[in-house]
Amino acid sequence: WLRADLRLADNPALTAAVERGGPVVVAYVLDEASEGLRPPGGASRWWLHHALQRLGTALAERGQSLVLRRGRASDAIAALVRESGAGAVFWNRRYGAAERRIDGEIKATLRDAGVAAESFQANLLFEPWTISTAAGQPFRVFTPFWRACLGALPPRPPLPGPPDWPAAAALPSDRL
């Protein structure tokens, strides 16, 4: 399940899905319905259109397809799991309060249904909870934050694109 991480390389969720073995459904859900999410503006929609188009082309070159859905992410992911018979759903983390709440609820619902659900660090060099003051609080000043980052273990190196994987059965795709 891809969100702002519309790329094949350096995508831990996609890499984990491919390494699990078997077919992988690559999906994007345009969620403008979940509570607390800010709807994308014109420039964001322009970027999204072109990024999805490029990703779809890159997937097609590998014999894969991109499934596009629209609506509440919880509903769309549940429907995709039912339609595909997926045994796992992987995604890269988001860090806004509403996004974390939505993702946490989806993860709990999937796990309760017996579906493996995992999220991965992909869009930040350090997870927000791994760099903190000596008192365990978030930094409020950049320079001490930067020093703490320099003293931390180095971030993981970028991942290559995953190797080829078996194509999943075709699923219907909504137009965004």
| Cα 158 from Cα 172, distance rounded (Å) | 32
Q: What is the dihedral of CA 122, 128, 129, 131, to 10 degrees?
A: 110
What is the model's pLDDT at position 176? 60
Q: What is the pLDDT along the chain (176 residues), one digit of tens a residue?
A: 999 899 999 999 999 999 999 899 999 999 998 999 888 899 999 999 999 999 999 999 999 999 999 999 999 999 999 999 999 999 999 999 999 999 999 999 999 999 999 999 998 888 888 899 999 999 999 999 999 999 999 988 999 989 888 888 878 776 56
168 residue type, one letter: A
String of DSSP letters for 19-34: HH-S-B-EEEEE--SS
The confidence score (pLDDT) of residue 128 equals 85
In terms of Cα–Cα distance, which of 46, 39, 7 is closest to 160?
Answer: 7
pTM: 0.89
For 131-154, letters b (16+ CB in 10 Å) and e give beeeeeeeeeeeeebeebeeeeee
